[in-house]
Structures are given as C-alpha cells and as structure tokens.
Structure 1
C-alpha cells in the first residue's frame, strides 16, 4: 500500500504513462545499460533491439499505476515477474539501481511535469513493489536452496533434431548428482558464452516430464525477421551444442503449471515452439494418469516445422482417451487439418468445468483466449504462458 499523500500523484500518472510510457522505459534501459553494462547479462538483448522489452515494462508500469489499490489483480503478474527474476538471479541490490534510473527516466522524459511530489510518489510506489518482489524472490531462492544467480554445470547427453528449426537438448548433472525437482511447465535459464567473451542468459521450457535422471529443453532457432534480430543465444546453441558439451543452467522456475496430477479432463492448446511445456505436461500425464481424458491440439506451419511428434505418438499409444488434433498452415495431410487452429474444429468438452492451457505466439493465444471466452469457458479456467505485454492486457 502507498500513502494517501502519494496516491493522487500515482492516479494522475495513468494517462501520462499511457502516452509516454515507452519513451520513459526506452530512456530507462539506455541510461541504465550505459551506467551498468554488466546488467545486460540479465536481459534479453534481442527483445531490447526489437522494443519488446521496453513495451513490456511500459505496460507493467501503466498496469501498476492503474491497479495500485487492487493487489489481487496484480498478484499473478507479480508472481510471474518474480519467477523470471529468480531464473536470472536478480538480487536485492539490483533494485536500487533500477529505481534510480527509472526515476531519472521519468524526470528526463516528462521535464517540468515531473514535479518533486510526483517523483516522490513514484519512489514510494516503486519501493513498495520492489519489496513485494524481493520478498517473493528470497523465498524462491530459499526454497530452492540456492544463491541468486547460482548456475549448475550440466552435460549434454543427447541432441535431437525435432523439426526444421527446433532441437531438443537432453542434459544430466555434470557432477553426477540428482536433478532439482521441477514441474511440467517450468523453465530454466541457459548461459551462452560468445567468442568475444559476452555472456547471455535465455529461458527455455523443460520439454519432458519430471522424474527422470535427465532434463530436456527444446530450442527454436530464431532466424530474425524484419525488425526482429536473429536470436543470439538460440543460434549459438544450435551451432555449438553437441554430446559432451557443458552448459551452465539455472534451477527450474516458473508458475505456468498445467494440472498433470489429477484425473480431471484437461485441454492443452499450443502453436509453434509453445508445444514444449505442453509436451512436458502430456508426458507426465501419460506416466501418472494414462486413462485421463486429454485434448491435445497443436498448430504448426507444416509437418517439417512440427516438433515432438514422436512424443505425441508415444502418448497416444499409452493413453486411450487422448484426442490429438493437428493444424498445419501449409502441408495439411497425414491427419492434419488445414489452416489456423479454430475452436469449432476441436472436440467438444464441458466448457465450464475443464481447465484449458495455452502456449504459443501472442497472436495465437489472443485469438484462442477470445474464442474460448466467447464459447463460454470461464476466464478462471484459462491459463497461458506469456511474459510480454499480453500478460497485462486484462489490467490495461
């Protein structure tokens, strides 16, 4: 909670942030990285180049200001941000740096409109949010038994070409120890070390069920289209990882957790590389509840760009009530339906009583989300894996 003195200034910031939010966050990142270039290690610099990260932070600031008295609405967003922070090893001493440059960016962009009372109000609001995140992240580190930023050496034991642009990397602990526990839907950060000595972390969903002596991630090679640059880390992994490679990997984090343990019906919808957490969930369900009723639908460009088809076939062999529906934009055939995923072409299920999980590109999730709501699926039954501005669209 913030003080009664500060609240009017935060309320007055809502239209200002709507208009100037991205200019503020662009200025913030530029100034912070000049002063602290070491922090580029923690951020996705591809998203910096494309503007996605600036847009995400602008949306977060606006959502925070607009909902500052509604922590129940902000809690799921704060949880997802805290998990992301824990995965890259954010520490309490990073927060004052961020706060200093955020307030400086507000002052720089707004000029005379950034009065001292307004800046004081945002200093208080930022401090309140920082404390929530610091406390949540401290608990995550303690529960995991790790220090912030602690990575573990993992040895690659298998690299599988899953599609034209996706490889699956299976790893074991290099020290021979047990793997940390995780749940289907969670992700790990993987460190890339480039020839010039730069290091970057990137997050990848675990793409196989927990309970094994190995951990698998699936990595889509981001080739770069238009203003979006090629993915530095994904291309580095595709070019350099082979059996025997040692990778530095974080503890698993993430709060997108499909229900894999009950015997209730469930619907898993994905597109593109969004299939990876769904495969982890499907493989877990096939192991613990093979008789469960599951609808598993996936949309891909074509069969050549459809990863993890062997996992799906293996699950079908074990699960008599699994219904698989595949959509291909280009080479529909061999059981695939032509075009984009459409709700009308999926098997029916009890709309009000079944959880639905979504993962894929933002346009895909937006389209499915609105179609599902229109079909009578309660918002509380819908769950999606997303980090960008779309995470906040219900608050904006």
Structure 2
C-alpha cells in the first residue's frame, strides 16, 4: 500500500500527465521498441500509426493517477487489459521491461519536473499495479487450461473458407490434434498467430462469430485497408484474405475477453443487440447463445451496415429469424444502393437514431450490447443515455485499443 505522502505525490502529477500524456506515451513506445525490440510483436502497428494505442495508454495512466487512493474503481478497466494481455501471452517477466521504459520516459519527457520524489512514487505505484495484473493474469491462464485444455498457442487447421460479405471472410478452424473444443463465452475472442512472408510473426485478436459449443471455431475477418496516405494496410487481415487457404495451419490462443453475454437478471427485460459492420462478430455469437440459453426472451437485433454488399451474415440471420419467433431483426443501411433497394432485403436507411429505437423498443427498459466502429459506438451510447438507460444495462466493445464513449 502506498503511503499517504506518495499518494499525494502521484495526485500532484495528474495535471502534468493530462497535459503531456500523449507525448509521454509516444516516447515510451518508441523507447521500448528501441531498447527491447523483443516486445514489438505484442503490438499492432496500425494502432501505433493511428495513435490510438498511445492515447489509450495515456488515458489509463491518468485514470490510475486520479484514482490512486481507490484503484478498485478501475476494476473493469483492469479486467479488460488483463484479458488482452493473456490473449497475447504477456507474462510476469514482461512487466519490468514496461516499468523501466515508463519511468525512463517520465524522466526524459518531463525533464526537471520529474524529481526523484516523483520517480520514486511512480516506481512504487507501478509495482503495485504490475502485481495486480500479474495475479489476475495468472488466474486467467489457469482458467484457460482448466476450461479449454491449453494455454499459449495451439495449431488449428483451416477446414473451410467462405465469404460473409464482399469485405469479410469467415475461416472455420479445428484443432489439428482432433481434441474437441469446449464452449467459449459468447462475445469472446481468440488470438491468431501467423508468420507472413516477411518472416515476422504477428498476433491479432478476432472475435468468435460461431455459436458457443460448435465443433469448430469461426473467425470472420474484415479486409483492413489503409485509411489515410502513409498508413499501413492491415497486415494480418490482408494475408488471411489473400493467402490463407483451406488445409493451412494457423495458431490460436484460447478464448479471452470480458465483453460477454451475461445471465438474465430481470425477467421480461428485452435483449437488444446492436452491431455495426464487422462488429457483428461477437454480437452474432451472443445472439446464438441468447436464443438457445435464454429461452423465450425477446431479442431485438439491429444490424447497421454501409450497404448490402458489405452487410455480413445475411442468410444466417434470415434463418435465425425464421426459426425463433421471439427474435426480431432490423437491418439499417446508411448508404443503400439501387441494387439494395431493388432486392428489398433491408428494413430502413440512415444512421442509428432515436426514432428507430422508439419504433423497436418503445419506452420499455431493455439491456443493450453494442459493437462496431468507434463513431457508431459513441453515437449509440449517447442515444441510449438520452433514453435514460442505466450504465449497468449498456455493454460495449471497441475493436482496437479501448476509448471513451463520452469523449
């Protein structure tokens, strides 16, 4: 436990961290990759290039400093990060590397403002935080072994490829050793590791889009193209689209993630699942589980997509809608084409809005799960808060480094 004096030192650093947080974290990553290149593979270069990784770390450091007297309020954030660390294979021996580079970066970026008193206080605070993560991650690793039968990476065979849309390919993966899969928690992701032609292994998290308890895992991967000049195309997604074929072998780590469908708490409360683009992948797994496990519960599924060509899982959703009378599916396209209108397979056009929510839900209380691109999540969160939905009834997941929906 930090002394009161050191807690006060940490709190006094909050303003300077808020002002210099991104500069500090940019410097930290550059320094760590230079001094300890062995950890570079844990990080997605696209997130580094976009600055989202740096901003997420800066926000986390500031949040820890602001709540240094009561870090328990950060339990949700700690769980999210611990799950992510386990998915990538981060272990206790990696924490000293981070600590050394973080403290050195504080000195190098803040200069004379980083007194010995500040460095000593942050060294102790970091040590406490590292111990917290190490303990929780040890528990998750143990749970993975007990539930799924392995930890680390295991060889899986690509048994089938199929297009989910024009820009999303689904891969069906089975263990090479023939061992049966245990059900994942609906909403979880796996980590895929492969080595493209440059010989540098890459790891990426992909949500499981299959029904929990299926004989095979299914990941459904969007081809990620550079969003701006100079930014890299998605290394892993493009390799999966262009090079990985049926019969190939990839490596998977066991399912991880805290964005999972929760048991019913209040009988009669509808479940509303809102998916944007490839964000449908964990939501679709939740949908399968809810229909099978939460029998008779009203389920409202809202799928948002740009147009019909990039709308995934059209046939699967149509089949579910036909099989379950308690399920209603509403498809909204933001930029519907003439072909979309001719086929008449969508229900409305435009962005998610309060009119649609009123139409589908009315003034009833409901439980919401959202996944999609950050702008859609922020927009959806604001719509739900305008409806006075309690925070406990709003569950969401960012693809990529976590952000702040209220920002």
TM-score, normalising length from structure 1?
0.95
Structure 1 residue 181: Cα displacement: 3.4
Quote the residue 1:256 is aligned against: 259
The 4+ residue runs of structure 1 with deviation greater than 6 A are 146-149, 260-263
In the alignment, the residues of structure 2 paired with residue 27 and residue 160 of structure 1 have an alpha-carbon distance, to the nearest angstrom, of: 42
Distance apart, 1:149 and its partner CA: 6.7
Q: Tell me how far 1:230 sits from its aligned partner.
A: 1.1
Residue by residue, what CA displacement relative to the aligned partner does 1:264-306 show, whole Å, maximum 9, x if unpaired? 5201011111110111111222333453210100111100011
- The alignment status of 1:342 with 2:353, answered yes or no, reads yes
Distance 1:202 1:351 in 2: 40
Count of residue pairs the alignment pairs up: 395
How far residue 74 of structure 1 moved from its aligned partner, in angstroms, is: 0.4
Deviation at 1:204, TM superposition (A): 0.3
In structure 2, the residue matched to 1:82 is 82
The aligned residue for residue 312 of structure 2 is: 307
Question: Following superposition of structure 1 onto structure 2, how do residues 154-233 of structure 1 map, counting pairs within 5 Å?
Answer: 154-226=156-228, 228-233=231-236
- 8 Å contact kept, 2:47–2:401: no
Residue segments in structure 1 that go unaligned for 5+ positions in a row: none
1:192, distance to aligned residue in structure 2 (A):
2.2
Deviates more, 1:54-63 or 1:335-344: 335-344
Distance 2:153 2:31 in 1: 28
1:124 equivalent in alignment to 2:129: no
Q: Does 1:276 align with 2:287?
A: no
**What does residue 374 of structure 1 align with?**
386
RMSD of the TM alignment (CA)?
2.0
Q: Give secondary structure in 2 for the equivalent of 1:291.
A: coil
Task: Say which SS state the counterpart of residue 363 (structure 1) adopts.
Answer: helix
Alpha-carbon distance, 1:69 to partner: 2.3
Out of 95-104 and 344-353, give the one that drifted further.
344-353
TM norm structure 2 = 0.92
Q: Residues 137-181 of structure 1, C-alpha deviation per residue, up to 9 Å, x if partnerless? A: 000011112899710101111111111110111111110001243
Provide structure 2 residue ranges, at least 5 long, that are not aligned to the other structure: none
